[in-house]
Amino acid sequence: MKIHKEGRRILFVTLLILLTLNLLMFYFNRGNTLVNGLFAGATAIIFLLILQFFRSPYRHMFTHEDLLIAPADGKVVVIENVFEPEYFEDERKQISIFMSPINVHVTRNPISGLVKYFKYHPGNYLVAWHPKSSTQNERTTVVVESDAGPLVLFRQIAGAMARRIVWYVNEGDEVSQGEEFGFIKFGSRVDVFVPVDSDVKVELGQKVKGGETVICQLKV
């Protein structure tokens, strides 16, 4: 287990603030050890909660040109055919994974290939399970021409708590399945859009692991 680079500064600043608060508490409230102890315990819990947001566990990843792996940890909340208006402008199969605050927040490439399209969209911060969050919230859209041939679109979506999306890909990049393509701070969701004839390998409500769980097989 390691701490993700996106969390190191936040954790350092948080630790300094909490230590300062504890020192002030012990200095001005020296006669009340019970309250001081409870305050110290509460701040320790706060720090540990923030720490777990930024954990980056090792994953046993594999690569296969026609299998999509989960781009994030979380729960499958959508499997349906929808009209995708931003890039394809036709019907696609959508698979959405909701990331709670206790999930790992790293997002990974679900497939290897060439990035044909990338766009960042500023937007709102509706709760991630809201039907309009996919088109109205702050988000990034990535389209990869997979090594197997079909185009795959995946989208990081900010939520009510997640107020910053980080990405590491740009148009023209070659990406490898399982490698990090970004990070969503404090949870949200990732949508994946594949051809409608793709064979979905997961079910609604299923918990998946980013970089490990196969979610779909492309028809090639």
Give the span between the Cα atoms of 70 and 206, in whole angstroms: 11
Of residues 146 and 61, more confidently modeled = 146
Q: Mean of the per-residue pLDDT values for the chain?
A: 86
The tens digit of pLDDT for each residue in 174-201 reads: 999 988 888 887 668 899 999 999 999 9
pLDDT of the residue at 205: 94
The CA distance from 61 to 152, in Å, is 19
Burial class (CB in 10 A: 0-12, 13-18, 19+), 189: buried
Backbone angles phi, psi at 22, to 5 degrees: -65, -40
At residue 29, the pLDDT reads: 83
The strand pair at 106-108 and 180-184 is best described as antiparallel
Output the DSSP codes for 57-111: --------TTEEEPSSSEEEEEEEEEEETTTT-EEEEEEEEEE-TTS--EEE-SS
Strand (E) or helix (H) holding 50: helix 33-53
Cα angle at 178 between 163 and 49, to 5 degrees?
A: 40
Known catalytic residues are: 188
Q: What is the mean pLDDT of residues 139-151?
A: 92
Q: Residue 29: what residue type?
A: N
Check residue 5 and give its pLDDT.
74
Determine the 3-state secondary structure of 51 from DSSP: helix
Q: Is the pTM of this model over 0.85?
A: no
Arithmetic mean of pLDDT, 144-171: 85
Highest mean pLDDT among 5-9, 21-25, 126-130: 21-25
Q: Span 91-109, mean pLDDT?
A: 89
The 3 state secondary structure assigned to 101-166 is: CCCCCEEECCCCEEEEEEEEECCECCCCCCCCHHHHECEEEEEEEECCCCEEEEEEECCCCCCCEE
3-state class (DSSP) for residue 197: coil
